[in-house]
Structure 1
């Protein structure tokens, strides 16, 4: 196999072109950096799809301590309090950084940030850009800033397939592009690859985001945290399109209600009702659907006539589906939306593998705990990118120069998707998790197109099996109670494989007996 070897002269490589990757690159400048994206910069990033905006204590009635309190409450006892405190304290400055980089945030006539309200926030603290097009506008501003920064070299159309490791340290990135395999020699790699939506049938994220960064880190031997915690957004547009259109929580923040086909507002008995934490609302909607009801978001009275003006992207998605929100309730169902778990990192974004950092959704800082507070994710990416950049800039390169060749098939999560959709949805139980783990182990071992997606799914399934309680977004019907003591989980791919092999052996023994 002919491999194109690129000696980068010690420059770091950032894998991923969303907010986390772009801001890390910008903060590293003027140090030269290579940014690798599998598609045109910004074209396939989950960041661009974000509607809700960024959370920061910018209002006169707000302060970081209140933001922290809301974050810890939503995280259901599993947030890393020190990390959460540091991130929310830095959030206002990160918003100002984005504004200086050219992001056009929504403002009041006096020039102040226009602040919105979302579920589980005690204050209006959500900064939007272009109404419900916040992610798109933030990405527009950052892409323009990156394109105009000479120190940042962008290579799109290349997909990272493996990280090479020698003596426990990162030495390079093996990628594949239109001209075949390419080896990027570097001892400094930042993962900023986003989430795992492509592992689920019902998702609000790009189907191409199936956990590539998690697979890269897993094969390199990294440690992961809290992989079992997956957030399902309660209000995805219930139609035929996949991925599904998100109906932002901000719509409920402006007064929209959730009803069934009879017009009954069935969340009346839930504390916080439509603005309860996402896991609570998602389970309530899921159960109502399971009881053969249909569920709708009703915007006819609130926001009412101003709906299309404030939420143009959502209004357009409704029109495409043949729905007029001014007259018709919007059909909804929960869909996979965000992954709280990820590669375990410290506050500088360092993973357990020297030379490897992670930032954004692929990382687990401990901010989100068991259930992410609305709009904290883009804030986390924007805040942590600076700390990751500082750490990378202060480290030494140890990349190798010789070629590394691996014949790796293009990954395809198609056969993994039904397994995770069935076993790792809004509600879970041990038997389905065991079945999924056994099937995922076989797929992971086959070294085919499903191998890497199956490796990611296997770690998630084993993590969910080991957490024998219900907490935040992780709800076990066979363990419906919350454990008295909260503890964050940790796992590696090798540990997940060993656990799944035990399950497979126990089933074989049961069949013999």
Structure 2
């Protein structure tokens, strides 16, 4: 009997767990920090990108993903995603995901940097919730052991191999393999579209276990979140349907900055908005969806429509104020194409992982697909060699930078850390700001994990240090990483960044 602990309940963790438990001789424990339905997946709006129409091709999806990734994508990872996407979506449909249809055929939307309409959605703008609901619905009869409201603090290591997880209360859950599917790191920043649970836990846990992490400097800031408390996401699909961005004078400024205007890659649009906000004294720009009409907005984007109207706004009549917000981490725990990390027995999948798939900038709506495609690959890899060392782990990205994780003695608050990261490692960075942030972080002491929040704050400290170090090391601008002091991409071969924690006795 093989026992696997899966940490996380988004599409990546749920797919991995369900695929594992469907095989004979496998026991699975699924651990969720909060409720099962509290994840980035559950709040994902736009949809899932996949080739389903005869007018589209896998080669086109690959090309679009590579172009958005600004030269840093690992092509083999992209080809796996796009090539296996149709079968992964077919499995989601078999598991009960009700994708929207028009005239009996699956409806297809368009989002930025896609050359074809290939975005499947459910409930208009509730795609992630539909996927989470369908997959969670299978758990009751699956035989999977569920541990909700349970905080994992560390990997249990024996002889350098992952042999389980340690919980906040000291309990250990033994396992033959551990899968991190903990999602993103949006709570590193004060403005984020991510839910409160996205506190970078998996990357921090992996760093403490000695795993290699990669490309952490690449953070995607979604161009359009409501410029109100909570930064509710206004999906890119709204711009795909024809909404435009205007400044305080009513000028459609993105046409001046990129041939694709509002549908340029996300980093381009986000920086364009930030620069225009700076030019107009910090006033948010506005998203003008008035041409779409009240009925269309309510039917196509019911979730966003309800949120907008709950704040006393009528976006069918007036443009709404929007601002960029931290949305997605392209980097994460370094894995191969089967989710293997550099620590034997430890796997990572979904946003917490870094295969090189997204490069320097994720293509819209590839993230849900990643969880579905790579969740199955992780399950296959665990069952093909559950006990052996990761002898075929690909370390071709080079020797990792060593991160000195000695701590200072100054206590800090989460809001202090978030503001520091926003100012120094947000949409635009420079050496002076990053060096100052590194010094401040080194003087802080991560709190002892006595409750869930303190455990999260410690994880945020660990990953903030790694993000800043990675951003300092990349002396160029590329995709989601923009350096004011070196605003151009470096010439020559493009390299990934890798990093490990250096522990001191």
- State whether TM-score is above 0.5: yes
Distance in 2 between residues matched to 1:204 and 1:442, nearest whole Å: 29
Q: Distance in 2 between matches of 1:145 and 1:33?
A: 14
Q: How does 1:88-103 map to 2 (within 5 A)?
A: 88-103=82-97
Aligned counterparts of 2:346 and 2:239: Cα–Cα separation in 1 = 39
CA deviations 1:363-394 (Å, max 9, x no partner) are: 00111000000000111110000000011122
Counterpart pick for 1:372 among 362, 366, 382: 362
Residues 139-187 of structure 1: CA deviation (Å, up to 9, x unaligned)? 110000122212x1111111001112122111221112xxx33111123
The residue aligned with 1:511 is none
CA distance in 1, matches of 2:64, 2:445: 39
Q: Give the aligned partner of residue 396 of structure 2.
A: none
| Partner of residue 130, structure 1 | 123
Verify: 1:453 aligned to 2:445, yes or no: no
Deviation at 1:492, TM superposition (A): 1.1
The reply on whether 1:246 has 2:239 as its aligned counterpart is no
Output the TM-score relative to the length of structure 2: 0.90
Aligned mates of 2:141, 2:248 — CA distance in 1: 52
Structure 1 equivalent of residue 441 of structure 2: 440
Q: Which runs of no fewer than 5 residues in structure 1 stay unpaired?
A: 1-8, 399-410, 498-513
Unaligned stretches of 5+ residues in structure 2: 389-411
- For 2:459 and 2:443, how far apart are their aligned partners in 1? 12
Inter-partner Cα distance in structure 1 for 2:29 and 2:308:
39
TM value normalised by structure 1: 0.88
Residue correspondence of structure 1 range 478-493 to structure 2 within 5 A: 478-485=485-492, 486-493=494-501
How many residue pairs get matched?
Answer: 468
2:92 counterpart of 1:85? no
User: How many angstroms apart in 2 are the aligned matches of 1:359 and 1:461?
Assistant: 23
Match of 2:402 in 1: none
- The answer on whether the counterparts of 2:292 and 2:316 sit within 8 Å (CA) in structure 1 is no
Measure the CA separation in 2 of the matches of 1:193 and 1:379: 16
Secondary structure in structure 2 of the residue aligned to 1:67? helix
- CA–CA distance in 2 between the matches of 1:294 and 1:19? 33
Deviates more, 1:264-273 or 1:372-381: 264-273
Matching of residue 153 in structure 1 with residue 145 in structure 2: yes
Kept after mapping to 1: 8 A contact 2:227/2:284: no
- Work out the CA distance in 2 between the residues paired with 1:123 and 1:444: 49
Q: Deviations over 1:263-294 (max 9, x none)?
A: 11111122100100000000000001111243
**C-alpha distance in 1 between matches for 2:181 and 2:154:** 15
User: What is the match of residue 287 of structure 2?
Assistant: 297
Q: 1:164 maps to what in 2?
A: 156
- State the distance in 2 between where 1:86 and 1:294 align: 39
Q: Map 1:46-445 onto structure 2 (within 5 A).
A: 46-110=40-104, 112-150=105-143, 152-176=144-168, 180-239=169-228, 241-242=229-230, 244-269=231-256, 270-291=258-279, 292=281, 293-302=283-292, 305-396=295-386, 413-444=414-445
CA shift at 1:208, angstroms? 2.4
Residues 144 and 445 of structure 1, relative CA distance in 2, 3 Å threshold: closer
CA distance in 1, matches of 2:50, 2:447: 46
Give the whole-Å Cα distance in 1 for the aligned partners of 2:141 and 2:78. Answer: 33
Q: Distance in 2 between matches of 1:39 and 1:412?
A: 22
Query: Cα–Cα, structure 1 residues 444 and 227, in superposed 2: closer, same or farther, change >3 Å?
Result: farther
Report the equivalent of 1:408: none
Q: How far apart, CA to CA, are the structure 2 residues paired with 1:488 and 1:100?
A: 37
Deviation, 1:395, is: 3.0
SS at match of 2:211: coil
Contact persistence 2:215–2:470 (CA under 8 A): yes
2:474 corresponds in structure 1 to 467
- Return the offset for 1:487: 0.8
Separation of aligned partners in 1, 2:94 and 2:115: 28
For 1:141 and 1:440, locate their aligned partners in 2 and report how far apart those are by CA, in whole Å: 41
**Match of 2:166, SS?**
strand
DSSP-derived class of the 1:451 partner: helix
Distance change >3 Å, CA 385–CA 454, structure 1 → 2: same
User: What is the deviation of 1:326?
Assistant: 1.2
CA separation in 1, counterparts of 2:207 and 2:293? Answer: 45
8 Å CA contact retained: 2:110, 2:237: yes
3-state SS, counterpart of residue 204 of structure 2? helix
State the alpha-carbon separation in 2 of the partners of residues 139 and 208 from structure 1. 15
Distance 1:360 1:463, change over 3 A: same
8 A contact 2:39–2:197 mirrored in 1: no
Q: Secondary structure in 2 aligned to 1:96? A: helix
